[in-house]
Amino acid sequence: MKENLRRAAGSLLVVGLGGAELTNLERAWLKLVRPAGIILFRRNIEDARQTRALLDEAAGLCAPQNFRCVDVEGGTVDRLRDALAPMPSAQAVALAALRLGWEMRSPTLSQRTRKDGAPSLSKALEHPTELAYEQGELIARGVKAFGFNTTLAPVLDLALPASAAVLVTRAAAATAAGVVEYARPFLAGLARHGVVGCGKHFPGLGGGALDSHLDTPAIRRNLSDLWREDLAPYRELRNDLPMVMVSHAAYPDTPGKDRPASVSPYWITIVLRKRIGYRGIVFSDDLEMGGILKFMPIEEAAVTAIWAGMDLLEICHSPELTLRAYEALVAEGERSAAFGKLLLARAGQTARRRAKLFAGGVPGALSARQFEALRARILRFGEAVEKAQSEAEAQLA
């Protein structure tokens, strides 16, 4: 039974690594924990060949059909910008689409695809709603070239004045309709190439002035406003989102009170699962962030998040914090029969979801010629978006 609990606890973690190669210490704790997957950052990524080798070795020490995650939103959050090419931000793509939308009415996506199902770059620039599809497609091809199967994008937060200094260009639009108009084709572009996307940061950071990497934002928006605006993208896209990331923000003017959403049964189970009806994977923001660690220690956060309904816990860097969270889950499973039962059930459920998401196996490597062609295409896309964005900003001024 204890071995089953240990296996279950590890399979609910997605973990980070220290550098571009595995250390002996990392090999040892990965073999012990056998997490659900790996997340890499710029500190881990030198080039495609090195990244694929690192992912292959680390994934071999994880649970089967594991996550290979990276943050590629575009703009300021783009872990492949140095190793591949810079991708424009969500806001830049949305503004460029706005500029093109003034000139023509866009037909439906299904009416303007190539024979292979993907719109050409020229078509994307002719029809504004395809810009986000093209971005999703290019990001998917880029992350696959490095051996990833998941990108933690798109951002579904609203670009409100309160969060402008924190989110900057990460949020596509100030309205729910604008966010959905961007995110739906973006997710379709990812899905076209078999890459898993993740909507974030539920229930919404648009009204927050603090960075949850450092503190717990207390977002003073009432439930009515959140439901009508911040939560609308999750309601509209619930069937398009393979994963939803839950933030460490608190919402004091709602029944969630001062508890961060990432450890709140109200937000995860009642709102996301029951009221919205979301059936995909619920994924925590990094449990190393100040937004949660200033509220409770990581041991308590890990256990409380699982009780609250979380499927996967993300810990992005520290082996010590990873092992503390892992051992806390095991210890609570041994102490509480109810939690042990929940841990085993949650592990089985997420394993089935992983198997479905990653049935296609590991994406193959590109040849040098294919890689350079992809780089050139991303650069051309970025230049076209920048031009249309500049024209839109000039007209809005």
Catalytic pick among 213, 225, 248, 286:
213
Amino acid sitting at position 253: D
Report whether 392 contacts 98 (CB < 8 A): yes
157 is catalytic: no
In 3D space, the residue among 3, 4, 2 whose CA is nearest the CA of residue 346 turns out to be 4
Which one is catalytic: 157, 285, 286, 311? 285
Task: Compute the distance between CA of residue 338 and CA of residue 353 in angstroms, rounded to an integer.
Answer: 23
Which of 267-291 are b and which e, b meaning 16 or more Cβ less than 10 Å from the residue's Cβ? Answer: bbbbbbeeebebebbbbbbbbbbeb
| CA separation for the pair 357, 196 (Å, rounded) | 7
CA distance 333 to 354: 23
**Does 82 qualify as catalytic in the annotation?**
no
Distance (Å, rounded) from C-alpha 156 to C-alpha 164?
Answer: 14
Strand partners, 199: 244
Query: Which residues are annotated as catalytic?
Result: 213, 285
